Amino acid sequence: MGSRSVEGEQASLADDYDALISTTDVVLLKRAWRNEKAAPEILHFESDLITRVREQIELMEETVEEKSTVGTDPLSVSLYQMDLDRTLFLLRSYLRIRIQKIEKYMFHLRKTEELWNRLSKDEKFFTERCTDDFKKHLEESVLSKLPENYQSYERQSVISEEDDMVPEPRLDTFVLCRSKEYLTGIQLEDGPVDDRSKLFEMEPDVLYFICYKSIKPLVESGKIDLL
Protein backbone atom coordinates (compact mmCIF):
# COMPACT_ATOMS: atom_id res chain seq x y z
CA MET A 1 0.00 0.00 0.00
CA GLY A 2 2.81 2.38 0.88
CA SER A 3 4.50 1.81 -2.48
CA ARG A 4 1.28 2.39 -4.37
CA SER A 5 0.65 5.55 -2.38
CA VAL A 6 4.08 6.93 -3.28
CA GLU A 7 3.62 6.01 -6.93
CA GLY A 8 0.22 7.68 -6.94
CA GLU A 9 1.64 10.82 -5.38
CA GLN A 10 4.45 10.92 -7.97
CA ALA A 11 1.96 10.46 -10.81
CA SER A 12 -0.16 13.29 -9.40
CA LEU A 13 2.90 15.52 -9.16
CA ALA A 14 3.81 14.72 -12.77
CA ASP A 15 0.29 15.63 -13.90
CA ASP A 16 0.45 18.89 -11.95
CA TYR A 17 3.84 19.65 -13.45
CA ASP A 18 2.66 19.01 -17.01
CA ALA A 19 -0.32 21.27 -16.48
CA LEU A 20 1.75 23.96 -14.81
CA ILE A 21 4.45 24.47 -17.41
CA SER A 22 1.96 25.55 -20.10
CA THR A 23 4.16 24.24 -22.87
CA THR A 24 2.39 26.23 -25.55
CA ASP A 25 3.26 29.58 -24.02
CA VAL A 26 6.84 28.51 -23.34
CA VAL A 27 7.22 27.44 -26.98
CA LEU A 28 5.68 30.70 -28.18
CA LEU A 29 7.99 32.72 -25.92
CA LYS A 30 11.01 30.81 -27.20
CA ARG A 31 9.92 31.47 -30.78
CA ALA A 32 9.42 35.20 -30.08
CA TRP A 33 12.84 35.31 -28.40
CA ARG A 34 14.57 33.64 -31.36
CA ASN A 35 12.85 35.89 -33.88
CA GLU A 36 13.69 39.04 -31.93
CA LYS A 37 17.28 37.93 -31.47
CA ALA A 38 17.81 37.19 -35.19
CA ALA A 39 15.81 40.04 -36.76
CA PRO A 40 17.81 43.19 -37.60
CA GLU A 41 14.82 45.40 -36.72
CA ILE A 42 12.57 45.47 -33.68
CA LEU A 43 9.47 43.29 -34.05
CA HIS A 44 5.97 43.68 -32.62
CA PHE A 45 5.88 43.41 -28.85
CA GLU A 46 4.09 40.19 -27.88
CA SER A 47 1.84 41.85 -25.33
CA ASP A 48 -0.71 39.09 -24.69
CA LEU A 49 1.95 36.38 -24.57
CA ILE A 50 4.15 38.33 -22.14
CA THR A 51 1.16 38.96 -19.87
CA ARG A 52 0.34 35.24 -19.78
CA VAL A 53 3.97 34.29 -19.18
CA ARG A 54 4.28 36.73 -16.27
CA GLU A 55 1.15 35.28 -14.71
CA GLN A 56 2.56 31.79 -15.23
CA ILE A 57 5.84 32.77 -13.57
CA GLU A 58 3.97 34.06 -10.51
CA LEU A 59 2.08 30.76 -10.28
CA MET A 60 5.27 28.75 -10.65
CA GLU A 61 7.03 30.77 -7.94
CA GLU A 62 4.12 30.16 -5.57
CA THR A 63 4.13 26.46 -6.42
CA VAL A 64 7.87 26.06 -5.84
CA GLU A 65 7.57 27.81 -2.48
CA GLU A 66 4.59 25.69 -1.47
CA LYS A 67 6.20 22.40 -2.53
CA SER A 68 9.41 23.31 -0.68
CA THR A 69 7.60 23.99 2.61
CA VAL A 70 5.45 20.83 2.68
CA GLY A 71 8.35 18.41 2.24
CA THR A 72 7.72 17.39 -1.36
CA ASP A 73 10.27 15.14 -3.05
CA PRO A 74 13.33 17.36 -3.81
CA LEU A 75 13.49 15.96 -7.34
CA SER A 76 9.98 17.17 -8.07
CA VAL A 77 10.75 20.59 -6.59
CA SER A 78 13.88 20.83 -8.74
CA LEU A 79 11.78 20.15 -11.87
CA TYR A 80 9.51 23.07 -11.01
CA GLN A 81 12.52 25.28 -10.28
CA MET A 82 14.27 24.32 -13.54
CA ASP A 83 11.23 25.24 -15.60
CA LEU A 84 10.81 28.48 -13.67
CA ASP A 85 14.47 29.38 -14.32
CA ARG A 86 14.13 28.57 -18.01
CA THR A 87 11.03 30.72 -18.42
CA LEU A 88 12.60 33.62 -16.50
CA PHE A 89 15.70 33.45 -18.71
CA LEU A 90 13.66 33.57 -21.92
CA LEU A 91 11.52 36.46 -20.70
CA ARG A 92 14.43 38.55 -19.45
CA SER A 93 16.50 37.88 -22.56
CA TYR A 94 13.58 38.77 -24.84
CA LEU A 95 13.04 42.09 -23.07
CA ARG A 96 16.78 42.81 -22.90
CA ILE A 97 17.22 42.29 -26.66
CA ARG A 98 14.41 44.74 -27.35
CA ILE A 99 15.95 47.32 -25.00
CA GLN A 100 19.29 46.98 -26.81
CA LYS A 101 17.60 47.63 -30.15
CA ILE A 102 15.78 50.63 -28.74
CA GLU A 103 19.03 52.10 -27.43
CA LYS A 104 20.68 51.58 -30.81
CA TYR A 105 17.86 52.87 -33.02
CA MET A 106 15.95 55.17 -30.67
CA PHE A 107 15.83 58.20 -32.98
CA HIS A 108 14.79 56.09 -35.95
CA LEU A 109 12.10 54.35 -33.90
CA ARG A 110 10.68 57.60 -32.63
CA LYS A 111 10.28 59.13 -36.09
CA THR A 112 9.00 55.96 -37.84
CA GLU A 113 5.32 55.36 -37.11
CA GLU A 114 5.35 51.70 -38.16
CA LEU A 115 8.19 50.86 -35.78
CA TRP A 116 6.88 53.12 -33.02
CA ASN A 117 3.60 51.18 -33.00
CA ARG A 118 5.51 47.96 -32.39
CA LEU A 119 6.67 49.10 -28.96
CA SER A 120 4.91 48.49 -25.68
CA LYS A 121 3.74 51.39 -23.53
CA ASP A 122 6.77 51.04 -21.25
CA GLU A 123 9.13 50.80 -24.21
CA LYS A 124 7.71 54.00 -25.70
CA PHE A 125 8.26 55.81 -22.41
CA PHE A 126 11.81 54.46 -22.25
CA THR A 127 12.49 55.55 -25.84
CA GLU A 128 11.21 59.06 -25.20
CA ARG A 129 13.37 59.41 -22.08
CA CYS A 130 16.43 58.08 -23.91
CA THR A 131 16.07 60.37 -26.92
CA ASP A 132 15.34 63.44 -24.81
CA ASP A 133 18.26 62.80 -22.44
CA PHE A 134 20.66 61.99 -25.26
CA LYS A 135 19.69 65.07 -27.26
CA LYS A 136 20.15 67.26 -24.20
CA HIS A 137 23.55 65.73 -23.51
CA LEU A 138 24.70 66.21 -27.12
CA GLU A 139 23.51 69.79 -27.25
CA GLU A 140 25.16 70.76 -23.98
CA SER A 141 28.44 68.92 -24.42
CA VAL A 142 29.09 68.99 -28.19
CA LEU A 143 26.62 70.59 -30.57
CA SER A 144 26.47 73.99 -28.87
CA LYS A 145 30.23 74.31 -29.42
CA LEU A 146 30.05 73.62 -33.16
CA PRO A 147 29.28 76.06 -35.99
CA GLU A 148 25.56 76.62 -36.51
CA ASN A 149 25.52 74.56 -39.72
CA TYR A 150 26.67 71.49 -37.81
CA GLN A 151 24.48 71.61 -34.73
CA SER A 152 21.99 68.94 -35.81
CA TYR A 153 22.06 65.56 -34.08
CA GLU A 154 20.31 64.00 -37.09
CA ARG A 155 22.32 65.38 -40.03
CA GLN A 156 26.00 65.97 -40.62
CA SER A 157 25.27 69.49 -41.88
CA VAL A 158 22.40 71.66 -43.07
CA ILE A 159 23.09 70.68 -46.67
CA SER A 160 22.44 66.99 -45.97
CA GLU A 161 19.21 65.83 -47.59
CA GLU A 162 18.66 62.89 -45.24
CA ASP A 163 19.04 62.11 -41.56
CA ASP A 164 22.46 60.57 -42.18
CA MET A 165 23.43 60.63 -38.51
CA VAL A 166 20.51 58.44 -37.39
CA PRO A 167 21.32 54.69 -37.33
CA GLU A 168 18.75 52.47 -39.06
CA PRO A 169 18.37 48.68 -39.05
CA ARG A 170 20.08 46.91 -41.96
CA LEU A 171 17.18 45.07 -43.57
CA ASP A 172 19.51 43.60 -46.19
CA THR A 173 21.12 41.45 -43.47
CA PHE A 174 21.11 37.72 -44.21
CA VAL A 175 19.35 35.51 -41.66
CA LEU A 176 18.91 31.80 -41.02
CA CYS A 177 15.26 30.81 -41.18
CA ARG A 178 12.80 27.96 -41.55
CA SER A 179 9.31 27.91 -43.05
CA LYS A 180 6.36 26.21 -41.41
CA GLU A 181 4.70 25.44 -44.75
CA TYR A 182 5.41 25.37 -48.46
CA LEU A 183 5.83 28.95 -49.67
CA THR A 184 6.19 30.25 -53.18
CA GLY A 185 6.50 33.60 -54.92
CA ILE A 186 9.14 34.98 -52.56
CA GLN A 187 10.93 37.85 -54.28
CA LEU A 188 14.64 37.77 -53.52
CA GLU A 189 15.59 41.15 -55.00
CA ASP A 190 14.01 44.49 -55.74
CA GLY A 191 12.35 44.54 -59.12
CA PRO A 192 9.08 43.80 -60.94
CA VAL A 193 6.85 41.39 -59.05
CA ASP A 194 6.14 39.45 -62.26
CA ASP A 195 9.85 38.78 -62.86
CA ARG A 196 9.79 35.00 -62.23
CA SER A 197 13.59 34.75 -62.44
CA LYS A 198 13.78 36.46 -59.06
CA LEU A 199 11.10 34.38 -57.31
CA PHE A 200 11.99 31.77 -54.74
CA GLU A 201 10.25 28.80 -53.12
CA MET A 202 10.66 27.46 -49.59
CA GLU A 203 10.01 23.90 -48.41
CA PRO A 204 8.71 23.37 -44.88
CA ASP A 205 11.25 22.53 -42.14
CA VAL A 206 14.23 23.21 -44.44
CA LEU A 207 16.86 25.72 -43.32
CA TYR A 208 17.53 28.71 -45.58
CA PHE A 209 20.06 31.55 -45.43
CA ILE A 210 18.30 34.49 -47.03
CA CYS A 211 18.05 38.28 -47.04
CA TYR A 212 15.76 39.43 -44.23
CA LYS A 213 14.13 42.05 -46.43
CA SER A 214 12.84 39.31 -48.77
CA ILE A 215 11.01 37.44 -46.00
CA LYS A 216 10.12 40.33 -43.68
CA PRO A 217 6.31 40.12 -44.28
CA LEU A 218 6.40 36.33 -43.80
CA VAL A 219 8.23 36.68 -40.48
CA GLU A 220 5.67 39.24 -39.32
CA SER A 221 2.78 36.94 -40.33
CA GLY A 222 4.31 33.98 -38.47
CA LYS A 223 4.84 31.80 -41.56
CA ILE A 224 8.62 31.86 -41.18
CA ASP A 225 10.69 31.43 -38.01
CA LEU A 226 14.15 32.95 -37.63
CA LEU A 227 16.90 30.90 -36.03
- The answer to whether 38 and 169 are in contact (CB under 8 A) is no
Instruction: Give the residue-averaged pLDDT of 152-163.
Output: 69
226 neighbors 173 (Cβ within 8 angstroms): no
Average pLDDT over every residue of 6-25 = 54
Q: How confident is the model at residue 63 (pLDDT cuts 50, 70, 90)?
A: confident
Q: Is the overall model pTM greater than 0.85, yes or no? A: no
pLDDT-derived band at 190 (thresholds 50, 70, 90) equals: low
Instruction: Kindly report the CATH number that applies to the domain delimited by 8-168.
Output: 1.20.58.1030
Handedness of CA 71, 76, 80, 86 (dihedral sign): positive
Residue 210 main-chain phi, psi, to 5 deg: -145, 160
Q: What is the pLDDT of residue 21?
A: 46
What is the residue extent of each domain of the chain? 8-168, 170-226
Is 151 or 176 the better-scoring residue by pLDDT? 176
For the cut 70, the answer to whether the pLDDT of residue 36 exceeds it is: yes
Would you say the C-alpha torsion 33, 36, 42, 44 has a positive or negative sign? negative
pLDDT of residue 215: 94
Q: How many CB atoms lie within 10 A of CB 98?
A: 20
- Nearest Cα neighbor of 90 from 136, 25, 38, 40 is 25
Second CATH level (architecture) for the domain 170-226 = 3-Layer(aba) Sandwich (3.40)
Helix, strand or coil for residue 191? coil
Averaged pLDDT for residues 21-47: 90
